[in-house]
Structure 1
């Protein structure tokens, strides 16, 4: 599974993503304005309202499950997580399977500490602020920046870039909540144009994700959004025709509710918080090679 060559490496790159994933949201107002401009299309206006609300969420829990092409072989992804913008906390558990190879990892982060676990007995702990150092961040990511800096709430905005969003007839239930299902298709060029005018960090995250779609051979995405009667996004699905399957579904729950941050048991934690950035980078590199 080349995308996660070692458990510790995968944990390190995932944790570094957490320091940036919620730092800067796209301009939700711009999306809402586009929806208003398309008021002749009620589906487009409804999608714009839902996307704008999703991108203003302060906290939520989610699951993300499905299949991605990976670097060399198709991968099955099973992720559950919760995040908060203020206070900044995030907790995610991920299982990635490629053929007979399966790796499970969990990471927890607040504004001061990040904890990483890779399926064994021990966790790694280091200062979240260490990842503000660009060189250390690159070392911790092991060159995988383009693959992991993603925010599920931001990705709901992809359907707002489509020119043909439509409402699927009837209602559907997601997590016990009645929703309206919207569907549409967006080309990668449309997704790129939709990033114009957004904050720089959001543009970079969006372009990195689009670049992944390009590498996988996708030219357009089939996008589905499920919205409740409060304009709250409940589910989002991304599909594409590629050499290997791309089909990911994200379900959102616990909108704007407190996000717990339980620290691991102290006896299970290897504390790296006293290391300098250079020492931490060297330690992570050695862990990857071991």
Structure 2
């Protein structure tokens, strides 16, 4: 179970979470850096078409009305390799269930796992793995956002990432100063308009400063995590349907730990989501066990 927390925390950075297909580490070659610059995009003097900005802003505003959603995420994560997830989330009260597959550089770095956030508690389970007591699930210590087990600062802590709303990432695209309309495209049978743009960390922070306290707190740890990876900007793509809903969202950047290239598909919105905690008898609670030993 030792690798489970680390892999799950990394995979949860999405939703972040959400390093181009040509992205590279800080030791990459000049050619790779050139490709990455193209993938991440460059600022131009051309003013943003007001209709493009308005379309993206409408989608961002529509995100704020969402009470629940189902989505999938796939792509490359720094140090984690290829990740595929399927998730359901209830916004208020906050609850989340995510099943994921991670394909790393070795068998030890690959596997399938599930994460649940229920009533403020985060539970992890890895396929084919049990705790020393034969339990299938482990309950993560509740040490607060931005903290990891033991209380050490951890912007990629499992709790912090489990509490992320993937809609936050797509909403940040409205801060872009170089939005472009790519064209009309069909995503999973739905007609959409494809937009692209570049968003810097400074623009994301400026956008975040205008949000409510809860959103600022939720995203601050994630932004610190991006900064820790050496990220300074993202190339973003958004596909918006006729109802102003974000249908698909992609974000890419170069990091010091390798490429980040994630695509999220939003499958449905505002439909009932029921997420339950695992059976108590099949859960290991490290904090409770520590209390017994004290």
TM-score normalised per structure 2: 0.71
| Residues 232-264 of structure 1: per-residue CA shift (max 9 Å, x gap) | 111110012345212110111121111132555
Deviation at 1:76, TM superposition (A): 1.8
Residue 152 of structure 1 is matched in structure 2 by 166
Of the structure 1 ranges 83-92 and 182-191, higher mean CA displacement relative to structure 2 is found in 83-92
Contact kept? 1:115, 1:123, Cα under 8 Å: no
Residue 257 of structure 1 is matched in structure 2 by 271
Match for residue 210 of structure 1 among 202, 207, 223: 223
Residue 3 of structure 2 is matched in structure 1 by 6
Q: Which has the higher contact order (CA 8 A, sep 6+)?
A: 2
Superposition pairs for residues 1-290 of structure 1, below 5 Å?
6-7=3-4, 41-70=50-79, 75-100=81-106, 101-111=109-119, 114-119=122-127, 120=129, 122-124=135-137, 131=142, 134=144, 138-139=148-149, 143-146=153-156, 148-149=160-161, 150-169=164-183, 171-243=184-256, 244-261=258-275, 264=278, 269-270=282-283, 272=285, 275=288, 279=291
RMSD: 3.6
**Unmatched 5+ residue regions in structure 1?**
22-37, 284-290
Residue 287 of structure 1 is matched in structure 2 by none
Deviation at 1:188, TM superposition (A): 1.5
CA distance in 2, matches of 1:108, 1:55: 23
| Residues 146-192 of structure 1: per-residue CA shift (max 9 Å, x gap) | 455332111111211101212112x2111221111111111111111
**Unmatched 5+ residue regions in structure 2?**
17-46
CA distance in 2, matches of 1:246, 1:9: 17
CA distance in 2, matches of 1:264, 1:154: 28
CA distance in 2, matches of 1:54, 1:139: 32
TM-score normalised per structure 1: 0.71
Q: Equivalent residue of 2:110, what SS? A: strand
CA distance in 1, matches of 2:242, 2:100: 31
Contact kept? 2:124, 2:137, Cα under 8 Å: yes
Contact kept? 1:93, 1:104, Cα under 8 Å: yes
Deviation at 1:134, TM superposition (A): 4.2
Q: How many positions carry a matched residue from both structures? A: 249
Q: 1 or 2, which has the higher helix percentage?
A: 1
